């Protein structure tokens, strides 16, 4: 597996509160949510990145699959996003 690199990202208070809310709803760490967003951004904006070495592609897909599976499992246990409650009350 590729060597892991560390970085520090600073968010505005509003963005971080949003990430914390999503983290609480999904049970995923904020880091996993940020990784998923980064992977999606790279895939959508730099498609050649996804056409790189097979090992790189497999790693990115594996990370994305892990995050999606955790989110799916969290949704199966009955957890709901607050916006769903607002839509149903309309």
Number of domains in the chain: 1
The three-class DSSP label of residue 38 is helix
**pLDDT average, residue stretch 6-17:** 94
Q: Is residue 41, in this structure, part of any structural domain at all?
A: yes
Q: Is residue 81, in this structure, part of any structural domain at all?
A: no
Q: Is residue 21, in this structure, part of any structural domain at all?
A: no
Residue 31 clears pLDDT 70, i.e. is over it? yes
pLDDT, averaged across the chain: 76
Q: Is residue 12, in this structure, part of any structural domain at all?
A: no
In tens, the pLDDT along 44-53 reads 887 766 666 6
pLDDT of residue 89: 46
For residues 71 and 48, give the distance between their C-alpha atoms in angstroms, rounded to a whole number: 27
Q: Are 60 and 50 in contact (CB under 8 A)?
A: yes
Q: What percent of the chain has pLDDT over 70?
A: 69
Residue 5 clears pLDDT 50, i.e. is over it? yes
Q: Is residue 83, in this structure, part of any structural domain at all?
A: no
């Amino acid at each position: 597996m590729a060597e892991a690199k560390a970085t520090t990202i600073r968010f505005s208070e509003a963005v971080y509160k949003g990430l914390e809310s999503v983290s609480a709803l999904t049970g995923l760490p904020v880091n996993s949510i940020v990784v998923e967003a980064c992977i999606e951004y790279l895939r959508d904006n730099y498609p050649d990145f996804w056409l790189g070495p097979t090992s790189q592609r497999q790693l990115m897909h594996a990370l994305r699959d892990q995050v999606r599976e955790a989110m799916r499992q969290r949704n199966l246990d009955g957890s709901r996003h607050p916006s769903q409650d607002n839509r149903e009350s309309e």
